[in-house]
Structure 1
Amino acid sequence: MSHEKIPLGISTCLLGYNVRYNGGHKKDRFILQTLGDYFDYVPVCPEVECGMPIPRESMRLEGEPDDYRLITHKTKEDKTGQMMRWGRKRLRELEEKDLCGYIFKSKSPSSGLFRVKIYAPEGHHVWNTGTGIWAGMFRDHFPLLPLEEDGRLHDPALRENFIERVFVFKRWRDFAKKKTGYGELVDFHTRHKLLIMSHDVEAYRRMGKLVAEGRNRNFDELLDEYLGMLLSAMTKLGTIRKHINVLQHILGYFKKQLSSDEKQEFLQILDQYRQSHFPLIVPVTMLNHFVRKYGNEYLEKQWYLNPHPTEMKLRTHV
C-alpha cells in the first residue's frame, strides 16, 4: 500500500553513517528498517556540520546543572559557541522541512535529550540532568514537535507513544495547511476523541468543551490553544486502565447488534488484556471486526482503532 512518508529529523549516526567522534556509527535497525518504511529521515550531525573533523576529540558537558558548556575532553576547548552559531542557521533551514518529529542520539553532549551527564569543572561531581547543546536548541525552537531518543524507543510503551504523537502531528499539519474553518476542526477533534481519551481523560473533556464553545472565538487563537492541549494530552502514556475505558466505551456502540456469544467472547478477551495476558492489538482487532460487520460511521472514522499502520507492529507488547 502506497503512503506518504512523514519527514522526521534524526541524528545521522543512527542511520549507519560513520560520523561519530571515533569514526564509527550507532546504526539502529528498527529505526532504519521498520520505521524507515514510513518516515523520510532528515539526518543531522551537529559536530560534523559545524565543522569538526572525523575522527575528533571526544567532548562532554561541563559546568553546573543550570549553566554548562560543550568542552573537549583532553584539550579543554570550549566548542559551545561554534555549535550554537551553526545551530541557529541549521534551525532556520529545518523550518522549511515540515518535520513532524525528531529522534536524537541518547547520552550525546550535543544530541542527548534526557539525562546527559554534566561534569563539574573541578572535582568529581556529576549530574545526570543535562540536555545536549543541539538538542536543547532544537527543543526550544520547535517546542511542539514530538521528540524522542533512540534508547527510549526500545521501550515498547515509549515507542508507541512517540509514533502516535508523530502521526497525530502529521494529521494536524495536513489539516492546518488547508486553512479550513470551524467545521473541519470539529471533524478533526471528533475523529481523535477516543485516541485522546486513551491518553488523558481530563484533557479529552476540556478539549471537547473548548471546541464546543469555540465557534465565536478568533479561529487562529482557537487553533493554537487546541493544538497545545492536544499535544500535551498525547504525551501522557496510555495505560491498561485507560485503554479498557475506551474499549468498553466502543463496545457500548454495539449493545444492540452483538450476540450474547460475541459479547461474552469480547469480555473474556478484555479480561485477558486486563491481566496482561493479551496485547492491546487483540481487543482492538476484535472491535475493528465488529465495526466492519455491523457498521458504525462514527467508529469507522476513529483514529484510535487505526492510529498508525499495522505493519509497524505496535500495540503488540504485553
Structure 2
Amino acid sequence: MTINVGISSCVIGESVRFDGGHKSNKFASKVLSPYFNYIPICPEVGSGMSVPRPTIRLMTNDERIALVDSKDSSIDYTDSMLEFSNKTVDALMDADLCGYIVCANSPSCGMERVKVYSKNNATKNGVGLYTGTLMKKMPWLPVEEDGRLNDPVLKENFITRVFCLHDLYQSMDGQPTAGKIVAFHSRYKYTLMSHSTVGYKNLGKLVARVAEYDIHEFFNLYRTQLMQTMSIRATRKNNTNVLMHLQGYFKKDLDSPQKQALAELIQEYNQGLLPLLSPITLIKHHLSMHNNDYLKQQSFLNPYPQELRLRYGL
C-alpha cells in the first residue's frame, strides 16, 4: 500500500526548526509510517531560510498578511514563501496526494489559529502562508495539524478521509469513468450517511447527473464534494442511524434473540456505553455467517486497516 501524504519535515523528525530542533509526532512517525509514503517539506528551509534562523511571524497592516522577521519587520519573507508555496503545491498536484500533516501554530505551516500581529495587538485567526496556498489550490485534500492528531475523533476523521481519497484514486486507476464513479459511490453509501445525510443526498443527486458532464470535469467536482462531506465529523446519532440500516439486512437471517442482542448493542452505543467497534464487530460476525455482497463492500465496515485501532475510542 502506497499512500502519498505530505508532512511538515519537523513533524516527521527532521531537525529543520528555527532552533535546529524538530517536533516529531509519534503517531505520524511510528503508527502511520507503515501505511503512508511521506513527502516531507519544510517551506521555510525550502524558500531559502537557514537552520538555525531568527524566528518569523505573520503581520498584518490591514492590506495584506506578511511573513516577517519577529524582531525586525522590515525583513520580509512573504514573496519568497509564496513563490515556493505556489511552485511546490503545483508539483504536488501530480502526485496523487491523499493527505497532509502540518505543524500547528507555524506562520508557514499552521492550518488554523496562527497568531497574526498588528501594530497594537495579536489575534489567533491566521493560516500559515504555505498551508493556506495548499488548501486553496487543493480544496479536496485532507489536511490536519500534528497536535490535533491527539484527539481521537479528529484523528479518526483525518485517517478516514485519507484512506477514502486513496480508495477513490485506486478505483479510477488513472482513468475515471461513469461506471467506476457509480461503483465507488455505492460502496461509500453508509460512510457518507454517517458523516452527513445532506451531503450524502447531494452527492447522490450529483452522481445521477454524471452523463451531463465531461468525465474529467465531473471527477474533479465529485472529488471536492466527496471530501467536503467526509470532512464533517461523523456523529453518534448518524452512526446509530447507519447501524440500524445495516441491522435491517439481517431481518430474515437472525432469530429473535440474535436480533435483540444486536439491537441492544446498537442502543448501548447510542447511549455512549460502548464504542462503535462493538456493534460493528457483531455485524461483521453476522455477515460472515450470512453473506451479502453489497454489505460486504461497504467501506463503513472497513474504512482503514483495523490495526490502527481508531474505533476503540469512538
TM surpasses 0.5: yes
Pair 1:142-2:138 in alignment: yes
Q: CA deviation at 1:207?
A: 2.1
Query: Equivalent residue for 2:57?
Result: 60
User: Which of 11, 19, 37 is 1:40 aligned to?
Assistant: 37
More displaced, 204-213 or 241-250?
204-213
Residue of structure 2 in register with 1:127 after alignment: 123
After superposition, the C-alpha distances for 1:5-48 in whole angstroms (9 at most, x for unaligned) are 21100000011111100111111111111111111110000111
Asked if 2 retains the 8 angstrom alpha-carbon contact of 1:65 and 1:130, the reply is: no
Q: 1:65 offset after TM fit, Å?
A: 6.7
Question: How many residues are matched?
Answer: 313
Deviates most, 135-144 or 243-252: 135-144
Correspondence 1:173 to 2:169: yes
For the pair 1:19 / 2:45, whether they are aligned, the reply is: no
Gaps of 5+ in 1: none
SS state at 1:61 partner: strand
Once the 2 structures are TM-superposed, how far is the Cα of residue 91 of structure 1 from its aligned partner? 2.2
C-alpha distance in structure 1 between counterparts of 2:82 and 2:176, whole Å? 38
Matching of residues 230-269 of structure 1 within 5 Å: 230-269=226-265
Shift of 1:85: 2.2
Q: 1:219 to 1:96 in 2, by over 3 A?
A: closer
Per the alignment, residue 298 of structure 2 pairs with 302
TM-score with structure 2 setting the length: 0.95
User: Quick one: structure 1 residues 118 and 282, their matched pair in 2 at CA, closer, same or farther if it must change by over 3 Å?
Assistant: same
For 2:205 and 2:46, locate their aligned partners in 1 and report how far apart those are by CA, in whole Å: 46
Partners of 2:172 and 2:181 within 8 A in 1: no
Q: Which residue of 2 aligns with 1:203?
A: 199
Higher alpha-carbon deviation: 13-22 or 176-185: 176-185
Secondary structure of 2:22's partner? coil
Distance, in Å, in 2 between the alignment partners of 1:227 and 1:174 is: 13
Task: Report the equivalent of 1:80.
Answer: 78
SS at match of 1:127: strand
Q: Secondary structure of the equivalent of 1:316?
A: helix
- Specify the alignment match of 1:94 in structure 2: 92
Give distance in 2, aligned partners of 1:162 and 1:104.
Answer: 12
Q: Indicate if the aligned counterparts of 2:66 and 2:78 stay in contact, CA closer than 8 A.
A: yes
Equivalent residue of 1:96, what SS? coil
RMSD: 1.6
Report if the CA contact (8 A) 2:13-2:23 is conserved.
yes
Whether the 8 Å contact between 1:200 and 1:236 is mirrored in structure 2 is yes
TM-score (norm 1): 0.94
- AA of the residue aligned to 1:245: N
> Alignment partner of 1:36: what SS?
coil
Check conservation: 1:65, 1:129, Cα contact below 8 A.
no
Deviations 1:202-233 (A, max 9, x none): 22122223323434544334333322321121
The CA distance in 2 between the partners of 1:68 and 1:17, in whole Å, is: 28
The aligned counterpart of 1:317 is 313
3-state DSSP class of the match of 2:101?
strand
Whichever residue aligns with residue 108 of structure 2, its letter is S
- Matched to 1:32, the amino acid is S
CA separation of 1:8/1:65 partners in 2, compared to 1, >3 Å: closer, same or farther? farther
CA distance in 2, matches of 1:81, 1:215: 43
Contact 2:163 2:304 in 1 (8 A): yes
> Following the alignment from structure 1 to structure 2, what is the Cα–Cα distance between the partners of residues 224 and 89?
21
Alpha carbons of structure 1 residues 52 and 174: separation in structure 2 relative to 1, 3 Å: same
Shift of 1:66: 6.7
Find 2:102's aligned residue among 92, 101, 104: 104
Post-superposition Cα deviations, 1:239-283, rounded to whole Å, max 9, x if no partner, equal 000000000000000001112121111122112211212111111
1:185 is aligned to: 181
Partner of 1:157: 153
Taking every aligned residue pair, what percent have the same amino acid on both sides?
A: 39
1:65–1:118: 8 Å Cα contact kept in structure 2?
Answer: no
CA contact (8 A) 1:102 1:145 kept: yes
Runs of 4+ more than 6 Å apart:
none
Per-residue deviation at 1:151? 1.1
Q: Structure 2: which 5+ residue stretches go unaligned? A: none
Report the 3-state secondary structure (helix = DSSP H, G, I; strand = E; otherwise coil) of the residue aligned with 2:179. Answer: helix
